[in-house]
Structures are given as C-alpha cells and as structure tokens.
C-alpha cells in the first residue's frame, strides 16, 4: 500500500490513534464530511507549530465548508495532546508511529531528509480532490485547503 496518491485517486483508508486515545478512521467521515488530511514532520518544530496554529485559526471556516481537519505525524499521542493544547487546535492529531499511512499516501520529503509536509483534500466519497506539498510554506497549506473546499459541496 505504498505510492503517491494523486488527484482523482481513492484515498487509502486508515485507522490511527488520536491525541485523546480514540481510534479514528478516514471512513468515519465518508458520506458526511470532506476531509483535510495533512501530514507534517514533527510536533513543536517552528514550521509545524505555524501550520497547526494556522489550521486552528481557520478551523471554523473549514468546518463551515463541511470539512474536518486531520493532522498526521509520527509523534506519540501524548506528544500530540501537548502540541494540540499549545497550538490551541480544535481538530484531531493522529499518531502514525510506524509511518505506514504516510507511506501509503506517498507523503515523503523531496529531499528524503525529513518527513514531508503534504496536504490532501478528500471529498465525501473518499476521492482526493487536491494535493499540496511544500516544506517551507506551512501557512499556504491552509489557504490551498480552503480554496479546494470552496469548490466542493459542503
């Protein structure tokens, strides 16, 4: 289940633990909400903190567009709980400790030195409608997601 997921592809399903300990699956949202699935390198780093805060600040707008935000990194659920509190995020952070979900989506770094920063917008049918990848523009991921969601039915 490895490879690069592109626009038009069926998003690979997964189940991962959230910062509150519950198991969250992509299929939980199928038929009810669009999903902004973003992969980020590491909790408490400068770019990832900026990105999480930006998603947090825009979470109300994203929710009004009929979507849920799911952030994914290899950090532990304990780390995610502390990071979510620090960044005041109202959305779910998922722990992909073995990197299987990241690999399934092909969300690796272009340089291969650190995990990639990639955002996928997935519609209610589970189809990828937008992909944005940029290590150095963490805030742009939020803008890209909002613009893609505006083109989808809420």
Beta pairing, strands 92-95 & 67-73: parallel
With beta carbons less than 8 A apart as the criterion, state whether 9 and 128 touch: yes
Per the residue annotation, which of 5, 18, 24, 48 is the catalytic one? Answer: 48
* Side-chain half-sphere exposure of 97, counting CA atoms within 13 A: 9
Tell me, yes or no, if 87 is annotated catalytic: no
* Paired strand residues for 93: 71
CA 65 to CA 57: how far, in whole Å? 14
Enzyme catalytic residues:
48
């Amino acid at each position: 289940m490895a490879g690069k997921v592109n626009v038009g592809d069926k998003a690979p399903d997964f189940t991962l633990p959230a910062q509150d300990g519950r198991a969250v699956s992509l299929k939980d949202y199928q038929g009810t909400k669009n999903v902004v699935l973003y992969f980020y390198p590491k909790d408490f780093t400068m770019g990832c903190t900026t990105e999480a805060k930006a998603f947090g600040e825009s979470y109300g707008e994203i929710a009004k567009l009929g979507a849920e935000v799911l952030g994914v990194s290899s950090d532990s659920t304990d780390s995610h709980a502390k990071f979510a509190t620090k960044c005041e995020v109202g959305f779910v952070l998922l722990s992909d400790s073995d990197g299987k979900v990241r690999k399934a989506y092909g969300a690796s770094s272009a340089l291969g030195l650190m995990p990639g920063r990639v955002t996928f917008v997935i519609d209610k049918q589970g189809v990828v409608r937008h992909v944005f990848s940029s290590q150095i523009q963490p805030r742009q991921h939020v803008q890209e997601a909002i613009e893609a969601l505006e083109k989808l039915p809420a």
